[in-house]
Structure 1
Amino acid sequence: MLKKNKEDLRVTKTLQNIRQTVVTLLIEKPLSEITVTEIAKRAQIQRKTFYLHYNSVTDVLAEFEAELSHDVETMLTEISPFSVQEFLTGLNELLCKNYAFYQEIFCRQKNSFLSTQCKNILQDSLTERLRAENKKIAPEDLKMYAEFISSGIVNIYGTWFISGQKLELADLIKKIQLIVQPLFTQIKTLKTKN
């Protein structure tokens, strides 16, 4: 039993090492230029070790996206009743979890599809949450509202990163809350499907 735990820990560390290496490389260059050979060299593993866990470099990114999606969905389901302040605080906690990665995504724009993926993950999760909050709104309207809100939030964070974070993160949360709170309030009070 102890041997299995050591092996599990070794696998976990290897996976973390591979993921961190991919994140580091994404900061330096576009995904299309990253090779398994380069990942293996930087992570100090054999190529076959990489292929034990992943089929391609994009599989590593897909795993990261799935984890982010799960984290956002989990965070949203834990907020009951829905609170914009708790929602934004939760987003900031997720942001801080991989702060350097997000900073580079927004500042370098080499991987702009990643910021689009972040927006899509947030949009999908918000659509589901808004649907749960108000079942009387047409699904296409909910999706539109969620897209507007998520695009705005992701763009505000992007601008904040690019500007060199001159505003404290806590103050940024307050400003975003002032912008999106009325939108959420209005969406919750809509009565009929249009």
Structure 2
Amino acid sequence: MAQDRRIVKTKAAIREAFFSIMKENSSAKITVTEIANRANIDRKTFYLHYDSPEALMDEFYKGLIHDFLLILEKSDFFDRSFDVLALFQSLNVLVQRDIELYRHIANMPSYAFFWEEIKNIIKSVAIETMSDGVDMPKDELELYAEFYVAGIIASYLIWLRNEVSLTEAKVVNILSTATFYGFQKLLPQK
């Protein structure tokens, strides 16, 4: 069922206003009044579409998670063994839509739950793809997956926050190598 174009346009204006304020503002708290003023609507119009700024953010996150899963599916990520390169390429397709916004989200502790959700999705995919190929109790596999995926996401966030001056390709290469070889790659060869 198609939504009324006015509703679609108003919601788009609200989202655009919210995210433009978010990019400018280092505070985690954005008010309905700020959003309404920026979107050139009244507060009650905002409340016709969203209960709160948090509800708007929740809709955004759910949409991102959905988009991320579609990107992973499109790259056949679910049809092969855990591929860090494909994972990063998928994350980058998502993030490149508005890198400035994602860099901002990466720097805001109040949005950590978004990255936690991404981590949990990737972890469940890793467990699912690896469970048939390894002879290991589920609890052990869970711990391995948590270790690797948490490290991958933490490293990705370091790159997003511009805490390292490496190219995206270099970060992907390092993390792919680290995931496959662990510290063995760093140790002197005998």
Where on the TM-score scale, by shorter chain, does this alignment land: which range? 0.7 to 0.9
Q: Please report the RMSD computed on the Cα atoms of aligned residues, expressed in angstroms.
A: 2.6
Which one-letter code corresponds to 1:152 in the other structure? G
Rate the CA distance shift 1:128–1:158 in 2: closer, same or farther, 3 A.
closer
Q: Distance in 2 between matches of 1:181 and 1:72?
A: 23
Rate the CA distance shift 1:25–1:67 in 2: closer, same or farther, 3 A.
same
Q: Which consecutive unaligned segments of at least 5 residues does structure 2 have? A: 183-190
Deviations 1:18-64 (A, max 9, x none): 12222222231333x31111100011112122111101110011111
- Cross-structure match for 1:96: 96
Shift of 1:138: 4.6
- Cross-structure match for 1:16: 12
Q: Distance in 2 between matches of 1:53 and 1:137?
A: 48
Matched ranges for 1:34-183 at <5 A: 34-77=30-73, 78-79=76-77, 80-82=79-81, 83-106=83-106, 109=107, 111-114=108-111, 116-133=112-129, 134=131, 137-163=136-162, 166-182=165-181
Q: Distance in 2 between matches of 1:144 and 1:98?
A: 33
Which one-letter code corresponds to 1:155 in the other structure? A
Where 2:51 maps in the other structure, the secondary structure is coil
Runs of 4+ in 1 over 6 A off after TM superposition: none
Contact conserved, 2:17 with 2:38, CA < 8 A, in 1?
yes
Contact conserved, 1:75 with 1:87, CA < 8 A, in 2?
no
Shift of 1:93: 0.7
Q: Distance in 1 between matches of 2:157 and 2:151?
A: 10
**TM-score (normalizing by structure 1):** 0.75
Q: Distance in 2 between matches of 1:125 and 1:41?
A: 36
Where 1:97 maps in the other structure, the secondary structure is coil
- Cross-structure match for 1:190: none
Contact conserved, 2:127 with 2:142, CA < 8 A, in 1?
no
Residue identity over aligned pairs, in percent, reads 28
Rate the CA distance shift 1:179–1:118 in 2: closer, same or farther, 3 A.
farther
Shift of 1:179: 1.9
Greater relative contact order (Cα 8 A, min sep 6): structure 1 or 2? 1
Which one-letter code corresponds to 1:103 in the other structure? R
Rate the CA distance shift 1:10–1:146 in 2: closer, same or farther, 3 A.
farther
State how many pairs are aligned.
174
Q: Distance in 1 between matches of 2:7 and 2:149?
A: 35
Shift of 1:11: 2.3
Contact conserved, 2:14 with 2:35, CA < 8 A, in 1?
yes
Q: Which consecutive unaligned segments of at least 5 residues does structure 1 have? A: 184-194
Shift of 1:96: 0.9
Shift of 1:165: 6.3
Q: Distance in 2 between matches of 1:13 and 1:49?
A: 12
Rate the CA distance shift 1:142–1:124 in 2: closer, same or farther, 3 A.
farther
